[in-house]
Amino acid sequence: MIRAENAILDHISLHITRGERVAYLGRSGAGKTTALKVINGLVAPSSGEVLVDGTSIAQHALPQLRRRIGYVMQQPALFPHRTVFDNIATVPRLLAWPEERIRAECERLLDQLELPAATFGARFPRMLSGGQQQRVAIARALLASPEILLCDEPFSALDPLIRAELQHLLTAAARNTTLVFVTHDVREALRIAERVILFDDGRVVVDTPASAFLQHEHPLVRRFVDA
Amino acid sequence: MSDLLRLTGQHLLIVAIAVAIAIAAGVPLGTFAHRRRRAGGIAMRITDIVQTIPSLAMFGFLIPLPFIGGIGARPAVVALVLYSLLPIVRSTFVGLDRIDPHVREAATAMGMTDRQLLWNVELPLATPAIVAGIRIAAVTAIGVATIAAAVGGGGLGTLIFRGVAMVDTRLILSGALPAAVLAIGADLLLTQVEHYFARRRGEA
């Protein structure tokens, strides 16, 4: 359940089920990013509340909550002073995992994302291409097996071929995770999600299974589909 | 010759103590200034004003003050701390301010506490800038320390003032040249340290 009211979001009430893959679709300024950021507390609702796992998120416990929630943005935002491996190890280290486990999980995940750990683990972010950096950002968000993965247009800065490849790799790597994926690209939303929530002007205007989205008669859906 | 060594050692010691105190005070102050813009802005204005006081006047102000002032090495260290503060506070502030806000957002979203964000991300990323500030502070302090001899602070300035009084060019140079060499040496050394930290973040 997400309820938030502020300048950008107004009277939003959403329920996302564990394991569900949801796309927040909408034009820029529609409120979808804000609706995403209330889930991990990066944006605090001025009224209403956010429940994760049935519990209202509390300001003082946010760091602990966030370690269970992966977050990927449009910018990879890797730590420039840390190697690929150390970037990916961030959350497990906050959770005090043993180093051998971190290393093993990191190698497995990087292989799955087709970025071999042996070649890339010791490199610094600056030495990677944009697509490679975004793979590292995905690995960094997923290594601690978060219950929820939040993605804010993670692929919109990448070229179409790499984008399609990463969409595929992300959905495979996040198979057992609740996924909330913000995008303004209908095809991307339908490729990744099983449920599409369309935002407009700070409100939810359509909330539908992905399979029914293309047939939906809402005028904004028609404009998105025909565009 | 033993006089020269002793005074050089004294000179370096005064500078080292002063810069160490300035680092211990300046980095937290710069961090505070970055977190609390308004209060920090005032603190930075004050260090700004301190920096503009001519050095001989600064020693003059310190002489009548109890505890921190007077004659000798103590007011010399106090004056050098005051001069070293500004470059360190300012470079800490700038170093923190230059960090990509998305990197900060990513760190927060991953569940770092404020303290972890500061120690694991912000200060390491600001380190090259902070070292640059320390370099400027050290070079300035080595120069200003020569004037400390005027208030009995010792150091290489002692030879310069003595030489001026005796109209002895060789004596003046025996203080002035080592002081210049110290300043240049500190500059070169700390530039290397700066590059080392920049390389470590994968920039070079």
Answer yes or no: do B102 and A67 touch at CB < 8 A.
no
Which residue, B47, B198, B189, B196, is CA-closest to B126? B198
For residue B25, pLDDT beyond 90: yes
- pLDDT digit string (tens) for B146-189? 998 888 888 999 999 999 999 999 999 999 999 999 999 999 99
Which of B103, B111, B202 comes nearest A63 by C-beta? B111
Which is more confidently placed, A126 or B202? A126
pLDDT of res. B54:
87
Residue B2 pLDDT level (bands cut at 50, 70, 90): confident
Residue B201 pLDDT level (bands cut at 50, 70, 90): low
For residue B45, pLDDT beyond 90: no
Percent of chain B with pLDDT over 90: 66
Residue B37 pLDDT level (bands cut at 50, 70, 90): confident
Mean pLDDT, all residues of chain B: 90
Q: Contact at 8 Å (CB) between A10 and A47?
A: no
**SS3 per residue for B79-101:** HHHHHHHHHHHHHHHHHHHCCCH
- pLDDT digit string (tens) for B51-103? 888 888 888 888 888 878 778 888 889 999 998 999 999 999 999 999 999 99
pLDDT of res. A4:
43
pLDDT of res. B55:
83
Distance (Å, whole) CA A136 – CA A129: 11
Minimum distance, in Å, between the CA of residue B198 and any CA atom of chain A? 9
**Which residues of chain A are within 8 Å of residue B199 when distances are taken between CB atoms?**
none
User: Count of CB contacts below 8 A, A vs B?
Assistant: 68
pLDDT of res. A2:
46
Least confident interval from B9-18, B127-136, B149-158: B149-158
Residue A1's SS3 state is: coil
Residue B40 CB neighbours (<10 A) = 18
Distance (Å, whole) CA B31 – CA B48: 16
Answer yes or no: do B105 and A94 touch at CB < 8 A.
no
Residue A55's SS3 state is: strand
pLDDT of res. A6:
42
**Which residues of chain B are within 8 Å of residue A63 when distances are taken between CB atoms?**
111-113, 116
Q: What is the pLDDT along chain A (227 residues), one digit of tens a residue?
A: 344 444 478 788 888 999 999 999 998 888 899 999 999 999 888 888 888 888 888 776 899 999 999 999 999 999 999 999 999 999 999 999 999 999 999 999 999 998 999 999 999 999 999 999 999 999 999 999 999 999 999 999 888 888 999 999 999 988 889 999 999 999 999 999 999 999 998 899 999 999 999 998 899 999 888 87
Residue B1 pLDDT level (bands cut at 50, 70, 90): low
Q: Is the model's pTM score more than 0.90? A: no
pLDDT of res. B64:
85
The DSSP secondary structure of A171-201, one letter per residue, reads HHHTTTSEEEEEES-HHHHHHH-SEEEEEET
Minimum distance, in Å, between the CA of residue B103 and any CA atom of chain A? 5
Answer yes or no: do A73 and B102 touch at CB < 8 A.
yes
Residue B98 CB neighbours (<10 A) = 11
